[in-house]
A and B are shown apart, each in its own frame.
Chain A
């Protein structure tokens, strides 16, 4: 190979190497087939919702809105929704009353959603959303003014989930509702209410679950045809008020004036009332598999077709009080200072209960009760009946039971 040939070969080789390196980073030079189209998202596609960055605001178009930061308003309504189908994501931020503002949100429209943030210090309502199908979730509301309401979602089918509403001080008769869902078919889940006259108010056919109410006049108020489960009420006037055919399961009332008020065909099962002034008050209802412990006056008071069954009642003045036409069976009443079971009116059936360490085991103050197959031990007086009652003989001899009377009551 002569020099000229060698030189040419070196140049070609070097050019090839360089071209290969350049081509490896440059990509194809030809445009793709088809019409020109954008290959990236627009900002509007990335965040298609409408930002809210100043108040007060009137929303007159349906859509999805979100806060861009904490906001305050000095008067009137912070956000007024005038159209159905609006979602407001507070985005973790809060809206505050900085003066004389009355409402955090006000709306009469349906399908309004409010989520993920707080409303603080409004004079009348944190949220006032009266249309149907309102959803409120993950919202904190604090109010201070007399008469203020935390969340009013009183249209049909309201859905309130993971919200908390509170007043900094105790119940005020002029301060009405923490969470108010008067419309049919509400769901209230995992919410807390503190410091209102009514902590949680649930209308017809509501479902309440996993909620807590404290320091209210009435903690959880259920009007009719409702279900409440796995909820607690503490330091209220009345913990749970079940107005009519409501089912309560797995609930706890503690340190209220009255733990459970249970009316008209309601069912309370597997619940506990402890350290209340009175534990349960049942009218025409069924209380079963419950515990009433350390309530000051009555553990369970039942009347007018009520059944109290398989309950433990202890540490009260009167453990179980029957006020007529009721049935108490298979209960255990222990350490109640006045009576284990007291029948103040007639037509009660008291059977197969166990009474220990009470003042009176069973005491009737009105005739016409049936008392059989109970066992009383360690009470100051085991049995005290009234003329006109029907009762099994009281057997008190220790040792083997020699009586064959199936209806005998035992006192030992």
Chain B
């Protein structure tokens, strides 16, 4: 090859290389016209993973969403085996079409941090939502079971610690159709603005649960919580068992009506600013473990109104302070029924007992302190007390049969003073009849 031929060959090779490089680099000049946004891809518009069929198993972390309502005839609709999964039902439902379909959401212990939200779970024969991993969050779910009586089913069952339930409703219309509405048995559960209706137990909660703004109605027990519960601003209505039951903890601003028992605190705790009305037996039952009434329970600033047996039934060690008990005892029965019932070693301080059927305040044990209470217009006696009672500074008005009636000995009692006009006694422990 002579020199011109060599030069041509080199030029041709350079052109090929340049063309290849240009094809990779793209144009260097900006396009003509004003700058405009490039269109989003569909993956950018909806980066989450769609779920269009069931049953399905999610084994990778990520965010998933339903594209339509899904139904299954057996097994579980969505099984989750991976951590950090979010499932948005997107307003759609998971539905069972036979009693062989057990769970709507079925998450193994490995599925930690699972979030499920925004839709309905309908008619599953087992647990509607079943999550075994820790840190589960369910929100804005409606879980119902109308078509499948029998079995042992929870609406929402969360077994790990730190579960959260927000804005959920669990309901069944069939007798024995749902054993527990919300079952959050791990420690430190949080329940807000949720409701359980017609379940054998509305809410069954593990240790240290916090429950706010929730409702339980027309079931067996309304709220049933282990030790350390803090329940506030909740209502329990027409449950055949207990409206609220905690082992230890606090109940604040809660309302119970037309249950068998309005409030039960088993071992120790505080009930504040709450109201019980028209409960079949007792409005408030303090320190009751199933066998005897023993517990360190305070009932403060609350109202018991028109309950069947006692407005307040206080077990050993309880304190009842600043409460009203009115119109209780109307279910009839023994003459001991009435406003406030005190077991041994209790304190009743600064309460008002008004128009109860029976005594305003009565005792079933010794060593009781009854101080600064006011009893008005109760149908039997104002105060009935046993031995070793400390009875001071109370006031009785308009009781039907008597005012301060002892049934024991060795009590320390302020003088009774039935006086009209100026109180001349200097005794600060006086009990008044006026």
List residues of chain A with CB under 8 Å of any chain B CB.
3-4, 6-7, 10-11, 13-15, 17-18, 21-22, 24-25, 40-49, 62-64, 85, 87, 89, 111, 113, 132-133, 135, 156-157, 159, 161, 184-185, 187, 189, 204-207, 209, 224-227, 229, 244-247, 249, 264-267, 269, 284-286, 288, 304-307, 309, 325-327, 329, 346-347, 349, 368-370, 372, 387-393, 403-407
Contact = CB atoms under 8 A, between A and B. Distances in A.
B397 A206 contact: no
A247 B254 contact: yes
Given A41-B50, A63-B92, A265 B277 contact: yes
Given A21-B24, A224-B257, A48 B422 contact: no
Interface stretch (B100-108, B148-156, B299-307): B299-307
Interface string B277-308: 11000000000000000000000011111100
Contacts of A85: 69, 93, 120
Given A305-B354, A305-B376, A267 B303 contact: yes
Given A285-B303, A286-B302, A389-B420, A156 B17 contact: no
Interface residues of B, number: 96
Contact of B171 (A157, A161, A265, A305): A157
A185 to B, nearest CB: 4
Contacts of B237: 184-185, 204-205, 225
B91 A87 contact: yes
Contact of B256 (A14, A157, A225): A225
Interface string B368-387: 00000010110000000000
A347 B377 contact: yes
Interface string B394-434: 01011000000000000000000001111111111010101
Interface stretch (B75-83, B127-135, B157-165, B209-217): B209-217
B120 A111 contact: yes
Please classify the interface of chain B as helix (H, G, I), strand (E, B), loop, or mixed, using the class held by over half of its residues. Answer: mixed
A387 B303 CA distance: 32
Central interface residue in B10, B304, B434, by most chain A CB within 10 Å: B434
Given A40-B42, A113-B91, A370-B432, A18 B20 contact: yes
- Count chain A CB atoms within 10 A of each CB in B120, B419, B422 and give the residue with the most: B422
Interface string B210-244: 00011101100000000000000111110000000
A48 B90 contact: yes
Nearest to B427: A406
B290 to A, nearest CB: 26
A264 B197 CA distance: 25
A6 B14 CA distance: 15
B273 interface: yes
Interface string B239-271: 000000000000001111110000000000000
B46 A45 contact: yes
A48 B50 contact: yes
Given A49-B91, A247-B273, A370-B434, A156 B426 contact: no
B301 A187 contact: no
A45 B45 CA distance: 11
Contacts of B61: none
Contact of B215 (A3, A49, A185, A368): A185
A390 B432 contact: yes
Nearest to A263: B305
Interface in B339-368: 350, 352, 354-355
B322 interface: yes
A40 to B, nearest CB: 6
6 tightest Cβ-Cβ pairs between the two chains A and B = A265-B305, A14-B13, A406-B428, A305-B354, A87-B91, A64-B91
Contact of B397 (A267, A269, A370, A387): A370
B426 A406 contact: yes
B121 to A, nearest CB: 11
Contact of B42 (A46, A284, A346, A393): A46
Interface string B19-31: 1110110000000
A48 B23 contact: no
A15 B16 contact: yes
A245 B422 contact: no
Contacts of A185: 195, 197, 215, 217, 235, 237
Contacts of B14: 14
B234 A207 contact: yes
A55 to B, nearest CB: 20
A264 B354 CA distance: 12
Contact of A368 (B91, B273, B397): B397
A45 B52 contact: yes
Contact of B91 (A42, A89, A306, A329): A89
Chain B CB count within 10 A is highest, among A306, A327, A372, A389, for A327
B426 A405 contact: yes
B261 to A, nearest CB: 15
Nearest to A47: B46
Contact of A244 (B167, B277, B420): B277
Given A205-B236, A245-B257, A387-B421, 10 more contacts: A18-B16, A40-B42, A85-B69, A85-B120, A159-B193, A187-B215, A269-B253, A286-B303, A305-B376, A368-B434
B324 A205 contact: no
Given A249-B273, A285-B303, A286-B303, A265 B326 contact: yes
Contact of A266 (B93, B236, B275): B275
A13 B13 contact: yes
Contact of B1 (A3, A227, A307): A3
Contacts of A132: 171
B66 interface: yes
A132 B425 CA distance: 63
Contacts of B92: 63-64
A368 B9 CA distance: 126
Contacts of B36: none
Contact of B233 (A13, A43, A209, A264): A209
Contacts of B67: 44-45, 48
28 contacts: A7-B1, A15-B13, A18-B13, A46-B45, A63-B68, A63-B91, A205-B255, A206-B215, A207-B234, A225-B255, A225-B256, A227-B253, A247-B253, A265-B275, A265-B326, A267-B274, A267-B275, A267-B302, A284-B354, A307-B324, A309-B350, A325-B355, A368-B434, A370-B432, A389-B420, A392-B423, A393-B423, A405-B423
